Amino acid sequence: ASPRFTTPPSRSTATRTEDQVMGGLATTMEDSQHLLRPPLMELPPDVDQLFGPITKTGTDYLPAETLARAEKGSFMEKIKLKKDGSVAWREVHELAALLRSGQYTWEELDLMTDKDDMDQRLKYAGIFHRRKKTPGRFMMRMRIPNGVVTSDQLFFIAEAMAKYGEDYEAVVDITTRQNLQLRGLKLEDTSEIITGLLARGLGCYSSGLDNVRNVVGNPLAGIDPLEIYDTRELCTAINDMITNHNLGNPEWANLPRKFNIAVSGTRDDYSHTHINDIGFQAVPHAASGIVGFNVVLGGYFSAKRVATSLELDLWVPPGQVLNLCYSVLRLFRDHGNRKDRQKARLLWLIEEWGVETFRRKLLAEMQSNAAYGPGAGQTLPVDVAQAHAAPAYPRRDYLGVHPQKQAGRSWVGVHVPVGRFRAFDVHELGRLAARYSGGELRFTVEQNVIFPHVGDEDVASLLADPFLQTGRFRTDPGPLARGLVACTGAQFCGVGLVETKNRALDLIERLEARYQLPHMVRLHFSGCPNSCGQSQVADIGLMGAPAKKDGKAVEGVDIFLGGAVGEEAQLGDKFLKNVAMGENDADVIQALGEILVERFGAVQR
Ligand code: SRM
């Protein structure tokens, strides 16, 4: 059961000229030549050569009993059994080629193809048709393990998006999984973007539908004086194992449901391990001193249920992290619920078996794992959970300028209002990263960016750069802005009940103008109960909900209070239900104002 490709395709040593890399856009790039011009992965020109013949599909990996359950399973099981990712990874290129050849218009192709191919299965390739809001336009969800990108990758994305000019739909969003989504794409362009990303070491396959999502790590990995474990290599290794180096891996092409993995490297838990299906919390082993991870499992949010992770009472060294992910995924794939999608996330399987039984089965699976296990006759090097350092550790805010563990270097955390960019912004980030941060930039789950490795002598000129002087991207945003997160919302998302991003910006601007706050308050806004904006981890969580005003159905929100992240993580509780937004959002401003005064020490200006 090994992946079809065990190593990535060979990388060419050929380099490109400056103009090819920059698309002709001038920039200063005396630093980080290697990151600006990494060797491109050499990709074969056509789909057959790129992917080879389909020798195995996701269905082939299902044991007979699982297959029988899938056959009687939910509508989505039928969609997956008919065709799964192994087909979609190729089909996206074939559909794009048909459009580019001029043989068919988009409208004709849309009529000719199965709607499930277009609207569901393409998500296996990370391509989401936004039929409800922007028909004929697609969103590409990338995979960025640990949220680390290079200037070269940013320039490529900027160029791909620049093609759409000032088009209202053409935006790039940082997601709540430390990732990017490119929006407003035409299907004919997606193939070239996918191969361009692959050539630069990034991908988008298996980022939607029943797949493992972007692997979240510590955005301060390798630079933070308080770091316990550098998460970067592990996140990339997990991603490569799951996606076959971003080329698609049929072994995981038929999971029962979506699946989230997060690796935390400091006590701040910037990765939010407690709300992921698998969370790795860095902690040294008491006896050996080896820094490994306590494992927590099953955390998730959904419209029907939200839950923090269960502690498995298991500690694994870094060398067993892949084994653990592989083994949990196998148990999940083969035994997870295929009938009821509301009961299909990992937590339900753990509850069905009980934590003890799940742990026992998992350890047996890990012991016998041919690909990543300890090997025949060897003991599995794991232990019971190790004690974390004493609590009362205040989670740090990473925005602004902070000294790194490397002498003479600082990281600069910059706030990105609701994580949204246009093509030009992405190019500018690449330019600044090339000039100041070793050609590297990081994304955070709060939808912000971090420039690492900035020489202390360069900090002032980075901060003085015109891009950071417009007032839009700030290192010192206001107390509500600095903790603001908003999901895509109804502007582009078909399931969003309310518009979130623009509204969130407007709400906090008005609240900051009206109230003085003694400290930051983390406010997260999700457009619907799926909680993609992680409303329950915030100090104040907003969640789109139906409401009534003067007997009429109007837009509204539920308001959550008391969420916390870090070592003392807890989920917020619903405090107010179905609050009508009111005219010009006045009612929700009123409710939030009262909460800020009563709970967070705000004073009316
Ligand atoms: Fe999400 C579905 C956007 C993070 C829980 N999510 C969706 C869809 C795909 C619905 C759709 O098809 O339109 C949204 C796409 C909208 C669009 O056009 O952008 C969507 N989710 C997002 C993003 C982009 C929100 C954001 O603005 O950052 C996040 C993408 C992360 C990524 O890079 O992969 C995003 N979604 C989350 C999170 C947060 C997280 O992962 O930490 C959650 C809660 C955590 C969890 O999954 O346990 C989340 N999204 C959901 C759910 C509920 C899952 C469930 O078990 O029921 C759905 C609906 C579903 O899967 O059936 C959903």
Mean pLDDT in the chain? 92
Q: What is the mean pLDDT of residues 248-258?
A: 97
Which of ligand 1's atoms lies nearest the C-alpha of 272? 42
| Cβ count near 396 (within 10 Å) | 15
The ipTM assigned to this model is 0.99
| Tens digit of each residue's pLDDT (9 = 90 or more) over 558-592 | 999 999 999 999 999 999 999 999 999 999 999 99
Catalytic, out of 80, 137, 183, 257: 257
Crossing angle of helices 75-82 and 64-71, rounded to 10°: 120
Catalytic (active site) residue 431: no
Q: How far apart are CA 547 and CA 408, in angstroms?
A: 54
Q: Compute, in angstroms, the gap from residue 530 CA to the centroid of ligand 1.
A: 7
Cα 125 versus chain centre, distance: 15
Catalytic, out of 126, 533, 544, 556: 533
- Phi and psi torsions of 61, nearest 5°: -85, -10
- Strand pairing report for 306-307 and 300-301: antiparallel
Residue owning the nearest CA to atom 36 of ligand 1: 532
Q: What angle do CA 96, 102, 108 make, to 5 degrees?
A: 75
331: enclosing H helix or E strand: helix 321-335
Residue 112 DSSP label: H
End-to-end CA gap in the chain: 64
Q: Which of 14-18, 300-304, 412-416 has the lowest mean pLDDT?
A: 14-18
Q: How far apart are CA 531 and CA 303, in angstroms?
A: 7
Catalytic, out of 90, 258, 435, 501: 258
Q: Dig out the tokens for 379 from the structure.
A: 């003991």
45: enclosing H helix or E strand: none
Q: How far apart are CA 430 and CA 424, in angstroms?
A: 10
- Phi and psi torsions of 250, nearest 5°: -60, -20
Please name the amino acid found at residue 468: L
Q: Is residue 59 in contact with ligand 1, taking CB distance under 6 Å?
A: no
Confirm if 174 and 180 have CB atoms less than 8 A apart. Answer: yes
Catalytic (active site) residue 532: yes
Q: How far apart are CA 124 and CA 517, in angstroms?
A: 44
Residue owning the nearest CA to atom 15 of ligand 1: 493
| Tens digit of each residue's pLDDT (9 = 90 or more) over 463-491 | 999 999 999 999 999 999 999 999 999 99
The dihedral sign for the CA sequence 236, 239, 242, 245: negative
Q: How far apart are CA 540 and CA 522, in angstroms?
A: 6
| Tens digit of each residue's pLDDT (9 = 90 or more) over 83-140 | 999 999 999 999 999 999 998 999 999 999 999 999 999 999 999 999 999 999 999 9
Q: Which of 14-18, 350-354, 453-457, 468-472 has the lowest mean pLDDT?
A: 14-18
The rounded percent of the chain whose pLDDT value lies above 70 is 93
Q: What is the per-residue pLDDT for 33?
A: 43
Catalytic (active site) residue 258: yes
Residue closest to 136 by CA, chosen among 94, 159, 104: 104
Catalytic (active site) residue 141: yes
Q: What is the mean pLDDT of residues 415-441?
A: 97
The rounded percent of the chain whose pLDDT value lies above 90 is 88
Q: How far apart are CA 232 and CA 255, in angstroms?
A: 25
Which of ligand 1's atoms lies nearest the C-alpha of 142? 33
Mention every residue, 6+ apart, whose C-beta is less than 8 A from residue 63: 334
Mention every residue, 6+ apart, whose C-beta is less than 8 A from residue 314: 294, 295, 359, 362, 363, 382, 383, 384, 385
Catalytic (active site) residue 544: no
Pocket test for ligand 1, best of 176, 209, 345 (most atoms within 8 A of CB): 176
Q: Is residue 531 in contact with ligand 1, taking CB distance under 6 Å?
A: yes
